[in-house]
Amino acid sequence: MKKKICAFAITVFLSLPIFADSKNIVYNESFDFKNVDSLQINLTCENLNISRIYGDEIVVEIGTNNIKKLPVVTLEQNDDYGTGTLTITSTIKKVSLGFNSTVYLYLPQDFLPGELYISNVSGNIQSDVLVSVNNIIIKNVSGRTDIAGINTDYFSAAAASGNIKIQKLSAGYFDINNVSGNIFAELEKSFEAKSKITTISGKIQVYYKKNESPFTDDSPDFIISSVSGKIETVPFD
């Protein structure tokens, strides 16, 4: 019995470095946010984790167990304005068994891009509040999308089977659609133009403030539809 306990303790001790560096960061680069006016992220199976930070730099970190399949990070300058688009593009065409990779994107609190575009195929997307002047567009085929807040003029989110969860949605107008995944949306304030949330077979939950109901006669058109899924609209204080 003592031998088994000793063997277990040795195993745990040897595995500690692995758990201590679970992100396995192999790429780290920073960009002055004043040189960036938009973000474009195109991933295949990598997870994406976006956080807000204090400071003047956008930080990109990539953790992976296969350094040969790193996404490419570039800042494409716009000659007319001196700013450009920060792009993060997956190099993967075929996913291999056991592959694991996460892109960590840290955005300064004062960073206000004109546009933010995120596309993923099977990886999860998780983020703090996303802010943009003009539009935020998110496309995720089968991965989960979980955003703590949206603040923009136009917001679009689409999926085929991955669940979409949007908290504190503040947009002039929006379009959220899914095929078989569920949709959760919490409206932070009234929108200004026709908006919709639709799915075919997934469940839809819409939470809205009692004093800013989107269902009044003078509110913009608001379409909520699901062919076979359940729809819930819930007012809250």
pLDDT reported for residue 29: 98
Give 118's strand partners.
41, 138
Task: Map residue 9 onto helix, strand or coil.
Answer: helix
* Spatial CB neighbours of 136, under 8 Å, sequence gap ≥ 6: 115, 116, 117, 130, 150, 152, 154, 155, 156, 171
pLDDT, residue 93, reads 86
Residue 73 reports pLDDT greater than 60: yes
Residue 149, Cβ density class (10 Å: 0-12 exposed, 13-18 middle, ≥19 buried):
middle
8-37 pLDDT tens trace:
343 333 333 333 345 899 999 999 999 999
Q: 54: which DSSP letter? A: S
Q: How far apart are CA 189 and CA 209, in angstroms?
A: 7
Q: What is the pLDDT of residue 22?
A: 58
Tell me: the pLDDT tens digits for 144-158? 999 999 999 999 999
Spatial separation of the C-alpha atoms in residues 114 and 133, rounded to whole Å? 5
What the block records as the tokens of 22 is 């679970």
Domain ranges within the chain, ordered by starting residue: 23-113, 146-237
The rounded distance, in Å, linking the Cα atoms of 136 and 130 is 8
Tell me the pLDDT tens digit for each residue of 79-103.
Answer: 677 799 999 999 998 877 899 999 9
Instruction: Encode pLDDT of 184-223 as tens digits.
Output: 999 999 999 999 999 999 999 999 999 999 999 999 999 9
117/41 Cα distance (integer angstroms) = 6
Residue 182: predicted pLDDT: 98
pLDDT tens-digit readout, 47-65: 999 999 999 999 999 999 9
Question: For the segment 119-129, what is each residue's pLDDT rounded down to a tens digit?
Answer: 999 999 999 99
Statement: residue 78 has pLDDT above 90? no
